[in-house]
């Protein structure tokens, strides 16, 4: 989508090239279909839960876990590179962090160690940043978060700020979740680009005065109880070249 009314400074522009989560796997066509159906079912469960879940501080929402695309980002000073699930329905970026509990140990994943970064900082309980993230709670002047997923996996840790690098753009003091208790996780982390208060998009809008997410799509107004999602109108359904006759 081309916007002719805004010009984004080149130093504030970056490009993310997502990679399909199954692109490096040696899957058969049947396995690819089964994995796609599993992701769709988890997303349906996630959306259904969001419609009926209470909206209160301390509540840990339930999300679908297996996203379809991965993105590469770098975290910390000096930076460490990760592949994270790209999720347009989540507000929070999180990565697996040291120290980890026993249940979190997956040796093949890169693990972020805050002690090796000079720019890592925990979010204090008095911070406005903490109050904008639903589901957080204060413990020993640290903001704790918990996210549960539909397959009973979860991530739990502290809210913090850190320097992130997206493409060639360096973003200091970006809020994220540093996960120390990650159960059943197969990913190094998740990159939330939802429409809520905590994701990358809101941070960029505050830092640069504007932020354009260039998608060739027309979005609808969000329902009050689902502020993080991008809503589309369903015009038609086709199977191959056949348009289904659905009223």
Of the candidates 94, 102, 92, 98, the residue with the CA atom closest to the CA atom of residue 112: 98
The angle subtended at Cα 242 by Cα 241 and Cα 246, nearest 5°, is: 140
Q: What SS3 state is found at 104?
A: helix
Q: Is residue 191 flagged as an active site residue? A: no
Q: How far apart are CA 102 and CA 4, in angstroms?
A: 52
Query: With left for phi above 0 and alpha for psi between -120 and 50, is residue 58 left, alpha or beta?
Result: left
CA 95 to chain centre: 10
Q: How far apart are CA 193 and CA 161, in angstroms?
A: 16
For residues 30 and 244, the answer to whether their CB atoms sit within 8 Å is: no
Tokens of residue 134, six digits: 């639903």
For residues 118 and 182, the answer to whether their CB atoms sit within 8 Å is: no
Which of these is catalytic: 3, 22, 40, 87?
87
Q: Which residues have a catalytic role annotated? A: 87
């Amino acid at each position: 989508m081309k916007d002719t009314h805004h010009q984004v400074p080149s130093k504030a522009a970056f490009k993310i090239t997502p990679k399909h989560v199954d692109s490096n796997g040696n899957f058969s066509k049947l396995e690819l279909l089964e994995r796609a159906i599993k992701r769709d079912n988890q997303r349906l469960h996630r959306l259904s839960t969001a419609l009926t879940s209470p909206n209160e501080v301390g509540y840990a929402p339930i999300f679908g876990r297996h996203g379809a695309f991965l993105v590469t980002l770098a975290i910390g000073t000096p930076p460490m590179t990760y592949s994270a699930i790209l999720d347009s329905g989540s507000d929070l970026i999180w990565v697996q962090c040291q120290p980890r509990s026993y249940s979190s140990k997956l040796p093949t994943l890169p693990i972020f160690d805050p002690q090796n970064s000079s720019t890592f900082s925990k979010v204090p309980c008095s911070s406005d940043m903490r109050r904008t993230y639903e589901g957080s709670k204060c413990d020993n002047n640290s903001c704790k978060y918990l996210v549960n997923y539909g397959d009973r996996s979860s991530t739990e840790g502290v809210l913090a700020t850190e320097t992130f690098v997206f493409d060639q753009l360096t973003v200091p003091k970006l809020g994220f979740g540093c996960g120390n208790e990650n159960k059943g996780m197969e990913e190094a982390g998740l990159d939330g680009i939802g429409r809520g208060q905590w994701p990358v998009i809101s941070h960029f809008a505050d830092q640069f005065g504007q932020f354009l997410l260039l998608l060739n799509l027309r979005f609808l107004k969000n329902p009050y109880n689902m502020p993080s999602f991008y809503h589309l109108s369903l015009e038609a359904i086709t199977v191959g070249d056949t348009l289904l006759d659905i009223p």
